[in-house]
Amino acid sequence: MNAHTPMTAPLLTVRGLKKHFGGVKALDGVDLQIRPGEVHALVGENGAGKSTLIKVLTGLHFPTDGEITFQGAGFVPGQPQWSKEAGIQVVHQEFNLLEHLSIAENISIEALPKTRWGFLDKAEMRARAVQALDLVGLGGISTQRPISSLGIAHKQLVEIARALQTDSNLLILDEPTATLTEREKDNLFQIVAQAKARGVSVLFVSHHLDEVFAHCDRVTVFRNGRTVTTEDIAKTSPEAVVAHMVGRHVDHTARETRAHDLGAVVLSTQNLISSANTTGHGVSVEVRAGEILGIAGLVGAGRTEFLRAIFAADTPAGGTVQMDGAAVSFHGPRDAIDAGIGFVTEDRKLEGLILEMSIAANTSMVNLKSLFPKGWMAARTEADQAATYGRKFGLKYGKTGDAAASLSGGNQQKVVLSKWLANSPRVLLLDEPTRGVDVGAKFEIYKILRELAAEGVAMIIVSSELPELMALSDQIAVMSNHQIAGTLERDSFAEEAILKFAYGQAQ
Amino acid sequence: MQTATNLAPDAPDLKSNRLTLRYVLQHAGIGLALLILVIFFSIASEHFLTAGNITNILTQITINLILAVGMTFVILIGGIDLSVGSVLAFAGVVAGKVITLSGFSDGTLITMAVLAGLGTGVICGLMNGLISAWWGLPSFIITLGMLNIARGAALHVADARTIYSFPFSFEEFGSIMIFGVPILFLLALALVAVAWVVLNFTVFGRMVYGIGNNEEAVRLAGHNVMFYKVGAFAICGACAGLAALAYMARLNISSPIAGIAFELDAIAAVIIGGTSLAGGRGSVLGTLMGAFIIGVLANGLILMGLNDFMRQMITGLVIIVAVIVDYYRARFSTT
């Protein structure tokens, strides 16, 4: 047992690792060192680069720059197969199981055993499965059951069993506890402890600091694609880790004092339960004309689902929405739009824009029918509308007939804003309005949103960037597990306070 | 401002020489291929570029062109309609039954038959569209079912017999030529023009392209996606009904076994014409070119003395080449 001797050569060393996607620097110089037989936690805000690092280590992404040493030798990941052969196993956040195949088949899927004659060796497959399931405390379950018959926690355990069966050197667990109950979590951490006792190193990615502090040896903090620090758990505190995650930098998103007065409540929700919310408790918020309500929270806290429920993009499971104090019942986005709501979605490419179509066509996508009530389109009218918004928002483009795909992220987002504003909404829902947008365009978008607020538009903004929320919002509601965990007024905004609510530590 | 310079790092890429190649592929590619074919066959066979043979080609491609126009709408929204050949037969025998009724004037009979043929096609198309859009099922399967239903219905209604002796004025209409161009082809050409206007200058057309590209974005922009999807299938059905009427006017019969495998040529014309099977990209003018390429190939290869089996093989090859070209076209437009 030399896990506690720092002198041992590290199992994995990552130095200056970079991964750029076009102009987006997902990893911008990451350092990480994992010792043999340690449980190493990796934490950071949404988008800090944790998932990207895992994807590089497991061969899903090819790194842009940097060096990786594994077991004392240089290691160039590039194919998932290479990482597996080197002994890096990963349990991904989302499941990678084949739903219609049996547990046994899933566990052996990476290297199916064959008989002398080349047929599937089912006996061997079953034996392997029984052994692997034993490791995760699922010994009693039939290996012949199809994956689709299992509950979500059992699926997770099968996934872990699959990762554990081959003797790996490094086991990566990406948010493994999100779907587990308390008892199942205890079971999981027992498995982690056993793996550690066998000398396996574990990289544990988590949003839950209590788990990190209870079960890990060291913790590395990522921020904006860089390593901030690596600390011994024994020598640090949750508060210090949160401070590292947030960073001490004062962002240039200066908070401006609001010059206009707020109007009456335009939109409110009463115990609104989104379709993904199984807690039985909904969300109640209200937003006034000219007010910006920020919604903070971690990925998976149910923020996007809440906005979609308001907009009736998904049918809510319960609760009501009121506009101007009267209950409304939307049967789909059309009704919400007719009531004066706009929805800038999180994913520009999948939900916001039609990339192959022109800037003009995208700008008129929402008000197309009111622009051309007879059904005949006039290219000129459409181009004029796009040009008007282009001027207003300082859009950098060639012609209004160019494909939206030709624009940069920030300018694409301006087109999305244009298409909603063309319909003169009274309420605007915005989900991560500056994701994938460069700094210059970001400030231009902030300016647009502030102007809209001054004109009396009510806004609900979901964002994972706390400086952004704090700069824009009049009030911030923090969501955790589909609930409002806490609400902060403008004069009490602080990142630490928001994160405490988000991590559910305030109770 | 330092930020203004790097706002659109990938924009120039689209404007460089890649655009020219893409432009050639998208706009000249099909027309160029057709031109090369015509020149090749003109050299290879002295009979090819004669007035009589050109009339022949136009007659031969008319039915496929009408079906392919409707198919363009369905493929543009990201669907497929395998039932058009059978629907043609069904609409044909329904119209044939109506047009051979006794006790009405020729004019009345023809009007009723046109309405019956179109109506039958529209109803089949509506069923295809409603079922696949309402339950979100793949139109491939639903229209495969309709292929069998409509064929069975055609055989049942016609009692498995060919229907003939239509009113004289109807039979005569189908053989009218204007300067050597069959009137049925001119009508098909007019249909292409109407479809082109609908696809490019109406809200309906915009929605067809929008849904094919990004259905969720269109839905979240507040549009009734189902209406447009069903509409595209109804148009495809109406075209099958029109094709049935053209078939009757040309051959003076309606047969319950007409149109077998016609859907394949219609799909081929659309794909060769550069419309993406994934939806959202393409044009009905391309479809016109595609129908011509299939027709010219068939005619020219037989004039060269190749048998029909060889012709079929070469047509198949052209379809595969068209899809490979489409693959590169898609890559050029996304990078």
Question: B221–A407: do the CB atoms touch at under 8 Å?
Answer: no
Q: How many domains does chain B have?
A: 1
Express each pLDDT in B113-122 by its tens digit: 999 999 999 9
pLDDT at B1: 33
Cα–Cα distance for residue pair A468/A430, rounded to 1 Å: 13
Q: Give, in order, the Cα–Cα distances in Å from A237 to each of A41, A241, A499, B108.
A: 13, 6, 15, 91
Report the CATH number that the domain containing residue A17 is assigned in CATH: 3.40.50.300
Two structure tokens written together for A19: 């991964």
Would you say the ipTM is above 0.85? no
A405 contacts chain B (CB < 8 A): yes
Cα–Cα distance for residue pair A498/A493, rounded to 1 Å: 8
pLDDT at A91: 86
Residue A267 has pLDDT above 60, yes or no: yes
Two structure tokens written together for B10: 């990938």
Two structure tokens written together for A488: 């902060």
The parent domain of residue B57 ranges over 51-260
Helix (H, G, I), strand (E, B) or coil at A67: strand
Measured CA angle at B44 (ends B38, B48), to 5 deg = 55
Express each pLDDT in B51-74 by its tens digit: 999 999 999 999 999 999 999 999
Closest CA to B15 of A499, A112, A399, A230: A399
With a pLDDT cut of 70, the percent of chain A lying above it is 94
Phi then psi dihedrals of residue B214, to 5 deg: -160, 85
Do A397 and A303 lie in a common domain?
Answer: no
Closest Cα in chain A, distance from residue B6 (Å) = 9
What average pLDDT does the segment A431-438 reach?
A: 84
Residue A343 has pLDDT above 90, yes or no: yes
Cα–Cα distance for residue pair A344/A459, rounded to 1 Å: 11
Q: Give, in order, the Cα–Cα distances in Å from A344 to each of A202, A359, A467, B9, B144.
A: 39, 16, 20, 23, 39
Indicate the residue of A313, A375, A441 with minimum beta-carbon distance to B220: A313
The 3 state secondary structure assigned to chain B is CCCCCCCCCCHHHHHCHHHHHHHHHHHHHHHHHHHHHHHHHHHHCCCCCCHHHHHHHHHHHHHHHHHHHHHHHHHHCCCCCCCHHHHHHHHHHHHHHHHCCCCCCHHHHHHHHHHHHHHHHHHHHHHHHHHHHHCCCCHHHHHHHHHHHHHHHHHHHCCCCCECCCCHHHHHHCCCEECCEEHHHHHHHHHHHHHHHHHHHEHHHHHHHHHHHHHHHHHHCCCCHHHHHHHHHHHHHHHHHHHHHHHHHHHCCECCCCCCCHHHHHHHHHHHCCCCCCCCCCCHHHHHHHHHHHHHHHHHHHHCCCCHHHHHHHHHHHHHHHHHHHHHHHHHHHC
Two structure tokens written together for A326: 């009267």
Q: Which of A310, A357, A395 to mutate to test the interface with B (most CBs of B within 10 A)?
A: A357
| Structural domain includes residue A432 | yes
A373 contacts chain B (CB < 8 A): no
| Structural domain includes residue A287 | yes
Do A432 and A297 lie in a common domain?
Answer: yes
pLDDT at B12: 34
Return the minimum-mean-pLDDT range out of A174-188, A420-434, B13-27, B228-242: B13-27
Tokens 């282009």, residue located: A390
Do A407 and A334 lie in a common domain?
Answer: no
pLDDT at B330: 65
Please enumerate residues of B whose Cβ is less than 8 A from a Cβ of A: 1-4, 6-11, 14-15, 201-204, 206, 209-210, 213-214, 216-224, 280-281, 333-334
Closest CA to A68 of A32, A11, A14, A28: A14
| Structural domain includes residue B229 | yes
Do A154 and A187 lie in a common domain?
Answer: yes
Do A194 and A328 lie in a common domain?
Answer: no
| Structural domain includes residue A6 | no
More confident residue, B167 or A51: B167
Closest CA to A312 of A334, A332, A283: A332
Do A286 and A432 lie in a common domain?
Answer: yes
Residues of A in contact with B198 (CB under 8 A): none
Amino acid at A370: S
Predicted confidence band of residue A507 (pLDDT cuts 50, 70, 90): very low
With a pLDDT cut of 90, the percent of chain A lying above it is 49
**In this complex, how many residue pairs, one in chain A and one in chain B, have their CB atoms less than 8 Å apart?**
109
Residue B334 has pLDDT above 50, yes or no: no
Phi then psi dihedrals of residue B176, to 5 deg: -65, 135
Q: Inter-axis angle of helices B225-251 and B183-201, to 10 degrees?
A: 170
Boundary-marking domain end, from A402, A424, A446: A424
What average pLDDT does the segment A131-160 reach?
A: 85
Measured CA angle at A278 (ends A272, A279), to 5 deg = 75
Indicate the residue of B11, B203, B333 with minimum beta-carbon distance to A375: B203
Residues of A in contact with B283 (CB under 8 A): none
Helix (H, G, I), strand (E, B) or coil at A220: strand
Residues of A in contact with B222 (CB under 8 A): 332-334, 336-338, 366
Instruction: Please name the residues in contact with A495: beta carbons below 8 A apart, sequence gap of 6 or more.
Output: A246, A466, A467, A470
The parent domain of residue A18 ranges over 12-246
pLDDT at A439: 67
More confident residue, A503 or B179: B179
| Structural domain includes residue A4 | no
| Structural domain includes residue B329 | no
Helix (H, G, I), strand (E, B) or coil at A136: coil
- Region of residue A244 (left: phi > 0; alpha: psi -120 to 50; beta: else): alpha
What average pLDDT does the segment A143-154 reach?
A: 85
Do A20 and A50 lie in a common domain?
Answer: yes
Question: A377–B15: do the CB atoms touch at under 8 Å?
Answer: no
pLDDT at A46: 67
Two structure tokens written together for B181: 């161009």
pLDDT at B331: 66
Question: A354–B213: do the CB atoms touch at under 8 Å?
Answer: yes
Residue A218 has pLDDT above 50, yes or no: yes
Extract the runs of DSSP E, i.e. beta strands, from A314-373: 318-323, 326-328, 341-344
Residues of A in contact with B220 (CB under 8 A): 311, 313, 333, 343, 345, 351
Do A169 and A78 lie in a common domain?
Answer: yes
| Structural domain includes residue B179 | yes
Chain A residues 448-477 with a CB less than 8 Å from chain B:
none
Do A163 and A96 lie in a common domain?
Answer: yes
A242 contacts chain B (CB < 8 A): no
Q: Output the average pLDDT for chain A.
A: 87
A336 contacts chain B (CB < 8 A): yes
Tokens 């300018």, residue located: A411
**Minimum CA–CA partner of A370 in chain B:** B203
Closest Cα in chain B, distance from residue A15 (Å) = 28
Do A442 and A507 lie in a common domain?
Answer: yes
Closest Cα in chain A, distance from residue B272 (Å) = 21
Q: Output the average pLDDT for chain B.
A: 89
Question: B333–A356: do the CB atoms touch at under 8 Å?
Answer: yes
Express each pLDDT in A439-477 by its tens digit: 677 888 999 999 999 999 999 999 988 888 999 999 999
Express each pLDDT in A349-363 by its tens digit: 889 999 989 999 999
| Structural domain includes residue B1 | no
| Structural domain includes residue A215 | yes
Tokens 């979605």, residue located: A345
pLDDT at A505: 55
Residues of A in contact with B335 (CB under 8 A): none
Do A319 and A175 lie in a common domain?
Answer: no
**Minimum CA–CA partner of A368 in chain B:** B203
Predicted confidence band of residue A174 (pLDDT cuts 50, 70, 90): confident
Closest Cα in chain B, distance from residue A475 (Å) = 27
Do A199 and A102 lie in a common domain?
Answer: yes
pTM as predicted: 0.78
Burial of A48 (0-12, 13-18, 19+ CB in 10 A): buried
More confident residue, B300 or A177: B300
Residue B28 has pLDDT above 70, yes or no: no
| Structural domain includes residue B253 | yes
Q: How many domains does chain A have?
A: 3
| Structural domain includes residue B165 | yes
Express each pLDDT in A284-318 by its tens digit: 999 999 999 999 998 778 999 999 999 999 999 99
